[in-house]
């Protein structure tokens, strides 16, 4: 049976690596993202279907999911981070982090679960972060939202475990993506350090002293999609070189 894998934020970075890895396993790939150019490029490479939608525009996002029909694998990869001291955060910052990192995943699960339940099979993988397992300074809203995503994962897993559906979170550490590039630039701008020094400081947060590669995250996702992973649910799996 050919599985259909729907990946949000699937055009670049971790999402693209996951799409490539699942395609290599024979899955039919469907992508949702905001960057139409990047989506077209990745979709063309993989022979994938795609829709342009923002996961925080919930009505449009639901329509995009519905356009693909049912999916067997849902990877909620779309997310975003906001970095500044807590004293400079306002409630809108917390809401925006919850919107993209939690409620987008909630919306996708609500849309995908009926089809999975009808087939007694499904794999839901939420791409969280080590920020869902520990604290980091200057990203309080992001950390709160990723902790919420991990909690949602654990709770939903208990509701679906008897239906052939697994729900897990994969929690990467600092990964070599555009998001880390932007974080490095932000640190450099605010501290006067070079971008390379900032990048090395992020890499040094784990014992290996290096950034995680997107392909390493994709391998964890691919494993959770396998039939042999059917007893693994409600877990938050760190891909972080021993950081947590």
Query: How would DSSP label each residue in the chain?
Result: -PPEEEEETTTSHHHHHHHHHHHHTTPEEEEEES-HHHHHHHHHHHT-EEEE--TTSHHHHHHHHHHH---SEEEE-------S-GGG--HHHHHHHHIIIIIHHHHHHHHHHHHHHHHT-EEEEEE--GGGTS--TT-HHHHHHHHHHHHHHHHHHHHHGGGTEEEEEEEE-SBSSHHHHHHHHHHHHHH---HHHHHHHHHTTSTT-SPBPHHHHHHHHHHHTSGGGTT--S-EEEESTT--
138 is catalytic: no
Whole-prediction pTM: 0.94
The pLDDT of residue 116: 98
The pLDDT of residue 199: 83
The tens place of each residue's pLDDT in the chain, 244 residues long, gives 689 999 999 999 999 999 999 999 999 999 999 999 999 999 999 999 999 999 999 999 999 999 999 999 999 999 999 999 999 999 999 999 999 999 999 999 999 999 999 999 999 999 999 999 999 999 999 999 999 999 999 999 999 999 999 999 999 999 988 877 787 777 777 778 888 888 888 889 899 999 999 999 999 999 999 999 999 999 999 999 999 9
């Amino acid at each position: 049976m050919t599985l259909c894998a729907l990946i949000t934020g699937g055009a670049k970075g971790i999402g693209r690596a996951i799409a490539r890895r699942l395609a290599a396993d024979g899955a039919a790939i469907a992508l949702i993202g905001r960057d139409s150019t990047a989506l077209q490029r990745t979709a063309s490479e993989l022979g994938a279907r795609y829709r342009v939608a923002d996961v925080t525009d919930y009505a449009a996002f639901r329509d995009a999911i519905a356009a693909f029909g049912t999916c067997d694998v849902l990877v909620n990869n779309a997310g975003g981070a906001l970095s500044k001291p807590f004293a400079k955060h306002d409630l809108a910052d917390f809401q925006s982090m919850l919107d993209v990192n939690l409620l987008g995943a909630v919306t996708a699960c609500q849309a995908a679960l009926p089809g999975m339940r009808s087939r007694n099979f499904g794999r839901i993988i939420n791409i969280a972060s080590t920020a869902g397992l520990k604290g980091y300074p200057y990203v309080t809203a992001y950390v709160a939202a990723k902790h919420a995503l991990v909690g949602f994962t654990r709770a939903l897993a208990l509701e679906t475990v008897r239906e052939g559906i697994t729900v897990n979170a994969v929690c990467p550490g600092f990964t070599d993506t555009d998001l880390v590039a932007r974080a490095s630039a932000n640190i450099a701008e605010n501290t006067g350090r070079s971008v390379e020094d900032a990048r090395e400081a992020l890499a040094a947060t784990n014992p290996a002293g290096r950034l995680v590669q997107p392909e390493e995250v994709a391998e964890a996702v691919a494993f959770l999609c396998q039939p042999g992973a059917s007893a693994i649910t409600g877990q938050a799996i760190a891909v972080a070189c021993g950081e947590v």
